[in-house]
Each structure stands twice: as C-alpha cells, then as structure tokens.
A and B are shown apart, each in its own frame.
Chain A
Amino acid sequence: MKTTKPLIISLVVILVLLFLSLLVIGRFEISVSDITAMINALFSGKAVTGELVSKQLVFCWIRLPRCLMAILVGMGLSVSGAVYQALFRNPLVSPDILGVAAGCTFGAALGLVLPGDNFSLIYILSLIFGLLAVAMTVGIARLISVKPVIVLVLAGMVILSFFNALLMVLKYFSDPYDELPSIVFWIMGSLSRVTWNDILIIGPVVGVGLIFFLLLRFRLNILSLGDVQSKSLGINPSSFRLILIVTSSFIVALTVATCGQICWIGLIIPHMARTLVGPDHKRMLPVTALLGAIFLLAADGAARSISAAEIPVGIITALTGAPVFAFLLYKNRGSGWV
C-alpha cells in the first residue's frame, strides 16, 4: 500500500512556511525584526514604543487572525466538499449544493439592507438563513422520499434558485449608491473583516468537524458506494447522510457568514487530493484539509498584496480554480468519473 506520510509532512512544511512568510508580507510593512521585537517585548513585559505600536496593532489584530482564518476556512470548505462528494456520489458536487451558501448570502444581504449598522445582525441572519435553506432542502427531500440522493440534489436546486431570486429582489430594491455595492462586495467573499471573535467561533467548529469526518473515514468510503451497497454492508445511509450534512452545512454556513462566498475550493481541492493519493478517505481527507488551507492562504496573500486596493479573495479563487479544475479533468480522463 502507498504511504502518504512523506506527502503529508511536506504539505505541513509548505503550510507552515507559507503562513510565516505571509505574516510579514502585506501593504503595511512589518519585518521579521519587528516581530522578534514584539515577541521580546511580550516576554520581558516591557511596553512597545514608537512605530512598533501601530505595527503590533496591525500584526496582532489584523494579519495574524486573517492568516489563521484562511487556514480554517480553507480546511473547512475543502473537507466539507470532499464529504459532500462522497455522500452524493458525485464528483461535481460542492458544499453549496443544498443551498447553504445561497441562504447565507440572502441572510447577509438582508442584514445589510435592514436599518442599523449592526455587524452581528448580518452575521446572525446569514447563519440562520443558511441553515434554514439546508433544512428546507432536506425537508422537501423527505416529503418525496424516493431515490433519496437525486431528490436531495434536485430539492437543493429548488431552494438555491429560490434564495437567489430573493437575493435579486433585495438587490433590486436596495439603494444603488450605498447598499448595492456592499451586497456585491460581500457576495464576492473576503477575509478582510476577520476578527479574533470569528476565530473563536469557527476554530472549534472546524476542528470538531474535521475530527468527526476523519473518524468516519472508512464509513465515507462505503457510503460512496451508494445506498444498496451501504445497507447490505450494515450501514444505515440515511441517518449517516443527515448527520454529515448537518455538520458540514454548519461549517459552510459559518464560513460564508464571516467571509462571504469563496467559490471553487470545495470543488477542486478534493479532486486535487484524489488525484494525488486516490479516493480512499483515510488518505484523502488529511491531504484535502492541508491543500485547502495552503490554497486559501496563498489566494488571500495574493488578494491583499497584488494591487494597492485589496481584491476580494473569491475572485482569486475563481480565477485560479477554473483552469486548475480543467487541468484536473484532463489529467483524470479515463479513470472512471469523467
């Protein structure tokens, strides 16, 4: 059997190096010596002085949480994507198939349009509508209850278009000079608003979710064989599906509520991992998580340093994701799924 240890170790090394280098890269210049000065000050108990004060502010409250968030969101979205692809036996499924992201986006837009400038309202509405969308999808699928997988996907399409339509209504009636641009910018996805509070919420959720998925790695293999096979191998596919959908939808809803829609990660990263180490989730899930973290960290680094004005990271992931996906399709031709 192939061992994935060397690959995983090298991915971890790349991730750490990228993380450290992105801490010093950015429009606001913070050098390595500044960081060591800050750490020295921290341990010696002395207060920082002069220029270092603003540098410390940027470093501790903006750049560090932002880089950590890129890692968390990258891992969360890509692993949720891998789980969805196994559950729906479809390599073209991404985490927003059940309408999570559409619901979240509508919720956030509603929060932006509603009077008052309360950021936590936007967050809460986004989360509520995202989870509501999934609940509606699952509910409709339950009502129909034949061919569970296909019905879930179709119900997801219904809910997705419904929330997209609601979003259009909001856009149409919103103020074109103030509200509309903020809705559009929000939809494009960005890590620029990240705070330590977000990390404290998303960190544990992504962490617990990843451990949960990793523990069920062999069950995911079996679920990807389909309902008849899963049942005859002693697994109840519908209850597993529900638990896994709830967990991953929660992860996706939280990330969309904080960072907006960051496309493509949930679709292409699992494919990359599968191309590298094969479809067995035991090997593929850890690689997916690491690749997702590296990809989003790099994309966010580019988003904030390519031009003078920050580019939404969603644009970067879409621009790089599309050609990468085309390449993966070409590379995997004839392996059975295309």
Chain B
Amino acid sequence: MTDAALFLIWRSTRNWALGLARRLRSPRYAIAVLVGVAYVALVFVGQRQGASGAIPVASLRIGGSLFLAVLILKWWLFGADRQALAFTPAEIHFLFPAPVPRAALLGYKLISAQRLIVVNVLVWALLIRRSDDSLGTLPYAISLWVFFSTLFFHRLAVALTRDSVAEHRGAGLRRAWPAGVVLAIIAGGAWVALRHVTVADLSQHPGGPLGAFRLLLETPPLSWILWPFQIPLLPLGASGLGDWALRLLPALALVALHVVWIVRADRAFEDAAIDASARRARRLERWKRYGAAGAPLTHRVRRWLPLGATGHPVGAIVWKNITRLVRTVSPALPLTVGVLLTLAIGLGVAAENQSGAVLTMVATLTLGWAGALAVFGPQWVRNDLRGELEHLSMLRTWPLSGSVIVTGQVLSSTLVLTALQLGLGGAGVVALLLSGQLLVAVPEASVLGLVALLLLFGLNLVSLALQNGAALLYPTWVRTELRPGGIEQMGQRLLTAGASLLLLLLAALGPGLIGGILGYGLWHSLGLWALAPAGILAAAGLGLEAFLILDWSGGRFEKTDPTAL
C-alpha cells in the first residue's frame, strides 16, 4: 500500500505541477500568476518592513495554548469536523475495495494531508511572522509544520474516536477511556481554578479583567492544564536555534504519538469516511457551480412571489434570479444589519447626551457603505449572467434576443444592489435627520435623495453591464474568478477588480461631466435644486451607455460558444 500511496501522491503532485507549467504558456494565465506573485511579494515586503501582523511571542504561549485547548475541547465535546475523514471519490473507488488494511488507509490519509499542510505552512511562513525575528524562515516553517500536523492529526483522531463511540457504543467508550480521563482532568482543573474567582477579583486587578484572566491562566492549576497544549507551540516561541532544537523534540514526539494513535486505531471508519466524502463532494460541486457567493441551497423559502402568466420575458428572468437570491442567501446577514441599524438609531435617540455622536456615526457608516457599494457592489452581487454561465447552452435555446436575456440578467443584480443602497442610504438620512445634522430641508432632501437613487441605479446598471459583458468576452476567466484557487486566481481577481474600476471611471466620466456642466450653469438661478436636473441628465447619460453596452453584450451573447467554456 505504501508504494501505491506514494506513487499516487507523487504522480498526482507531478501532474499537477506539469499542468501548472503548461498553463503558464497562456499569456492570460501567466499575467494572472505574475500579478498574484507581485501582490504576495508586496504584502511580504510590507510585513518585513512593519511590525503589523507579527505575533508577539508571549501571546503565542498563553493565547495560543488557550485557543488550542478551547478548540480541542470543542472537537471532543461537539465533534470534530468529519471532513478530516473525507477521501476523494476516486480514492474511495480505488482504495476501499482494494485489499488494503485500515491502518494503511489511514497512513495514506496522513501522508496525503501533507499537501494541504505544506501550503498552509508556506502561506503562514511568508505572511505572518513573530515580533522578534530571531528564528530563521526555515526553522519557523518547520515549527509551523509541526503545529499544523499536530492539529490535523488530532482532529482526525477525534473524528475516529467519536465515530467509534457512536458506532460501537460500549466497546467504543471502552476504547476512548484515555481521552475521557484527559477531559475529566481538564474539566476538574478548570473548576478548581475558577470556583473561588469572583467578579470583584476580576475588576480590582491592576491590569483590569484581562490582566486578571491572564494571571489565572499563568498560575496552577490552569497553567498545568494548558501546558500540554503549549507543546505544539513551543518551537514557534523559541529565542534562538539552540532553544528551538530543544523545544522541537517534545513537539515532534507529540506528532509521532498522534501518528501511532491514528494508525493503530484500526477502527471501522469506512462508513463515516464515505459519508464525509459525499458531503465534501456535494460542497465542492456547489462551490464549483456557484462560487463563494453561492450559499448552500435551503428549503426555507417555498412560497415566494408568484410569476405572472403574462408580461415581458425580462420580468421572468429578473423574477428567476431574485428567486435564486432569496432561496440561496441566508437572510441572517441583512436582518442582523437591519436590526443593528435600528438599535443604533434608537440608542442614539435615547441617549440624550451622546445622540449626536452615535447618530453621526450611524449616518457616516451607512452612507459610506452605500457609496462603497457603488464601486465594489458589482463584484459582490453576482445575481446575473456571471452566475449562470454553466446554463449558457439552455439560455441559448430561449426564443429571446441576446440583448433581452442580458438585460434581464443585468437588471436582476442592479435592482438588488440599488435596493441595498436605498436601505443603507435611507438609514443614513434618517440618522442625520434625527441628529439635526441634515443640512437641507426635508422636501429638498427627498427630491435630491430620489435623484441620487436614480444616479446610483444608472451607475450600477453601467457597472454591472460592463461586468456581464466581460463575462461574455472572457467567460472562463469570470467563471473561475470566485472559486478557491492558487496565486493565479488571486492575480485574476486583482486584475478583474482593477480593470472593472477603471472602466467604471471611464464610463462615469462623460455623464458626470455633462451633469456637472448643467448643474454649474443652473446653480446661480436654482441653487441646490440645480443638482436635480444635473443628476437626472447624468443618470440619463449612464442609461444610454448601459443601453449601448447591453446591446453589444446581446450580440456577443449570441456569438458565444457555450462549448468553449
């Protein structure tokens, strides 16, 4: 099995590297890689020059061990992520029916996990350093490898043990007794340490509650309990090479202990592994189809706005896409934001002394976000053609012109984005009004607000039309943009964001100038009201641009070959 496992891992890695090298021949891919590497290098140089992002050594010992203790306790009590047991469908197909002992399968799992661990080590070694850089990059990377390996191996061991207990009940519990003893010791120690601590102790400590908490962690029995959790972190806190070598030994011993624990487990984990693999495959499939924006489908929303039997097909496309949004995106985030905003405004009004400050903060935040959404929103709200490229074949069979289909798709995102801005902007205006800082009268504010909304709608329409046009021009580029990937995809995203921003600026320039000239000309006679015709003219200019882009995109849609995606 070892030979076969090593062959599989080596050949897979080699073929992946060769594929990467082949892709580099494509200028588009090569540019994306270059941009990605340049970005990482810039961040790395920034890290080297500044102390920001560096980890203080003392925090590693106390904070790190506490974090590990809580994490591991959570795994034992509430279950480790069963993904640790997941194999790929091909691995299940080939390895599980093969005459291979379970220990060998687990050994293979441990070895194959190294690919992911090594990537993590590289990223962390490059991007996150300690505050005192006395440890060289290689020892630091080795220390990280020890830490990540311990973490992964322990997670796997927890998943195996918990699965065994769930599967075999009594027998499983008997096998898991050492873990039970450790958990009991931790719980007992925590109880002994915390039973005499009062709120007064915490508040009267010279270092405040945090200082008191730290003291608690550094004195027995909590310090004894946390000590084992410090072992994987010990090498990371070394002050020199000699110290590092000494600290590395127990950490390596812990890794070895975990390997023995897992490989000797010999538990029937196949069912759990297949279940975890199926879950992972489903998640990957969803990720491939919908990207990061595509949350898991839920069955929450069944009754939804019905689609009318008659009407323009654009309405049907918008209905379909908004249905998708409603059924795939959790309402928790917008609801939370809404509740928080309402609470903040309510708090601001209730707190008489500081109402101005709180409401100003709410207004600044909400209006700032509404503005920021005009720039970054089209990258985030992808409820349009960009999310439907996999259905391009089907869309092409519809008896609709390309421009109608693209318009329906672009409108779907435009309406959502503008509604978000309306919500945020409305909250901001209300906050300003309540704080008495609204500089114009309510009638003027209402009219100008409507014009601003019209302007934002036009800007969103142009921006999203550009994004969707780009999706038709470079479909493979846009399709892969959202998925998890390496440095080339980071470069791709940066390039796309930069190009989108530049195009948006260029598109807004003409309408902005025309509207600005009109507003300037009318300012002396109309005053603030001059902004209304200026805004309407600029919005009309944006609308015209959007029409031209959508018309061009429609033609492009009709020529795009879905098989080339």
Do A and B truly interact?
no
